[in-house]
Amino acid sequence: MTPNQMTGPVIVTKNLTRTFTTRNHTVEAVRGLDLEIGQGELVAFLGPNGAGKSTTLRMLTTLIPPTSGTASVAGHDVVDEQRQVRRSIGYVGQGNGAGHQQRGRDELVSQGRAHGLSRASARARADELVADLDLSAVADRTVMTLSGGQRRRLDIAMGLVHTPRVLFLDEPSTGLDPQNRANLQSLVQKLHAETGSTIVLTTHYLEEADALAERVIVIDHGSVIADDTAFSLKSRLGDRILLGFTDAEDAGVAAERAGNLAGGVAGAVVRREGAAVELRVTGGHELAPHLIHDLHSRGVVACSMEVSRPTLDDVFLDLTGRSLREASEGAGSPTADDSTTHDEPNNDGPNNNNRPTATEETAA
Ligand SMILES: Nc1ncnc2c1ncn2[C@@H]1O[C@H](COP(=O)(O)OP(=O)(O)OP(=O)(O)O)[C@@H](O)[C@H]1O
């Protein structure tokens, strides 16, 4: 932890709200957000398309005003002190900000000049960023010839030219292939570790939020529905044991035995649907072999078994009844009307990644 991280919050929002009124309807994009983000935190806003992540970022970066409520960044109000806020932040939006006909290095120098650096300082800063963001091999090519991943890195370099206290990244890895996404994530972590600056990014990639952020703020329908480390969010759910049987009778026995065996563990939940049984329990890896053995001794044999640690998708599913993966993949253009629930019964048995719906659910 750097000394910077010890100081008070660098971002504070109070009842921050933004509505959009179009011809046909009003969209409550962000609803009463109360947040405090400390200096030096690496935070991900995670949520499906249309959840309100970008709108929040756009308010924090002074691009749009709140409808009501307040927000301050680096101690400055986002409405009354826009200039001071802008000086303190770097913002990398979803679009590509760099001019396509210019060389990457020249773009960085121009950006530095625009932020008031002398020509020599702007050049030195551009060289530093080119090295830091692994752009040495391509910095002297025109931007239009760069790959998606290289452009994204250049965008981030542009956002860092003036050494901001807070860097906002709006879906930094959208559109990148897995390799480039992984590279970008390591780079963001490296930057964070080396500079100690606050980084706030939005993403709908579960793995990205999980791997990258120290703190995950889950947003749905414009509100914060969870805010913790990825580890803590997942730990609350316990492991998942999914068992499949050839008939519902066996599944009934298994549900009962699972309930008995997990009975002493706080928060354990058993669900049965048809011939599938799901047990959510802390320490599921240890319990699973005992359960199989117990069932075997009663002549009940599972035809499939899967034991998994919870993911952030499980967290989202638990909080909303929807899968974040489906909510994000299923959504097209982000409108408020896109927010459908995906809670149809799942009859695909235990090998399906969705949990059985709660046709029979008991606390163990
Ligand atoms: N300028 C606008 N006019 C009308 N509605 C808007 C506008 N900008 C955003 N919205 C609506 O506000 C809601 C939140 O949008 P926002 O872009 O903040 O979501 P998001 O979580 O960032 O989604 P994505 O992951 O797709 O970027 C959506 O319903 C969106 O359609």
**CB neighbour class for 123 (10 Å; exposed up to 12, middle 13-18, buried from 19):** middle
Whether residue 157 is found in the same domain as residue 248: no
**What is the CA(45)–ligand 1 centre distance, in A?**
14
Last residue of a domain, one of 265, 288, 309: 309
> What residue has token string 């897995």?
178
Q: Assign residue 255 the CATH number of its domain.
A: 3.30.70
Whether residue 192 is found in the same domain as residue 253: no
Structural domain boundaries enclosing 171: 9-233
Q: Which residues touch 305 (CB under 8 Å, ≥6 apart)?
A: 241, 242, 243, 244, 288, 292, 350
Whether residue 242 is found in the same domain as residue 169: no
Q: Which residue, by CA, sits nearest to atom 25 of ligand 1?
A: 49
Whether residue 285 is found in the same domain as residue 225: no
Last residue of a domain, one of 199, 233, 267: 233
Two structure tokens written together for 197? 């600056």
Whether residue 253 is found in the same domain as residue 112: no
The answer to the question of residue 354 being in a domain is: no
Strands (E), the chain: 9-21, 26-38, 42-46, 68-73, 76-77, 89-92, 166-170, 198-203, 215-220, 223-228, 239-244, 269-273, 276-281, 304-308, 360-363
What pLDDT shows up at residue 350? 30
Whether residue 168 is found in the same domain as residue 273: no
Whether residue 214 is found in the same domain as residue 146: yes
Alpha-carbon dihedral sign for residues 32, 34, 37, 43: negative
What pLDDT shows up at residue 242? 95
Whether residue 244 is found in the same domain as residue 175: no
- Mean pLDDT by groups of 10 residues along the chain of 364 residues: 59 97 91 96 93 94 96 96 93 72 90 91 93 89 88 88 90 81 84 89 89 93 94 87 95 94 84 94 90 94 92 87 72 33 29 36 62
The answer to the question of residue 319 being in a domain is: no
What pLDDT shows up at residue 96? 59
Last residue of a domain, one of 217, 233, 249: 233
Whether residue 112 is found in the same domain as residue 244: no
What ipTM, to 2 d.p.? 0.97
The answer to the question of residue 363 being in a domain is: no
Cβ-contact 316, 233 below 8 angstroms? no
The answer to the question of residue 361 being in a domain is: no
Tell which atom from ligand 1 comes closest to the C-alpha of 334.
31
The answer to the question of residue 265 being in a domain is: yes
The answer to the question of residue 200 being in a domain is: yes
Q: Which residue, by CA, sits nearest to atom 19 of ligand 1?
A: 50
**Which protein residues touch ligand 1 with a CB less than 6 Å away?**
20, 22, 27, 29, 47, 49-55, 202, 204, 334-336
Q: Assign residue 85 the CATH number of its domain.
A: 3.40.50.300
What pLDDT shows up at residue 7? 64
Two structure tokens written together for 177? 């292939």
**What is the CA(336)–ligand 1 centre distance, in A?**
8
Check residue 303 and report its DSSP letter.
Answer: S
Q: Which residue, by CA, sits nearest to atom 7 of ligand 1?
A: 20
pTM over 0.90: no
What pLDDT shows up at residue 331? 46
What pLDDT shows up at residue 329? 58
Distance set, CA 250 to CA 93, 118, 197, 247 (Å): 54, 76, 56, 6
Whether residue 77 is found in the same domain as residue 190: yes
SS3 210: helix
Whether residue 229 is found in the same domain as residue 251: no
What pLDDT shows up at residue 341? 26
The answer to the question of residue 347 being in a domain is: no
**Neighbour tally for 168: CB within 10 Å:** 25
Please give the Cα distance from 38 to 7 (Å, whole number).
7
Whether residue 141 is found in the same domain as residue 289: no
Instruction: Determine the residue of 22, 28, 30, 49 to mutate for testing ligand 1's pocket, defined as the one with the most ligand atoms within 8 A of the Cβ atom.
Output: 49
Number of domains in the chain: 2
The answer to the question of residue 19 being in a domain is: yes
Q: What angle do CA 83, 88, 89 make, to 5 degrees?
A: 100
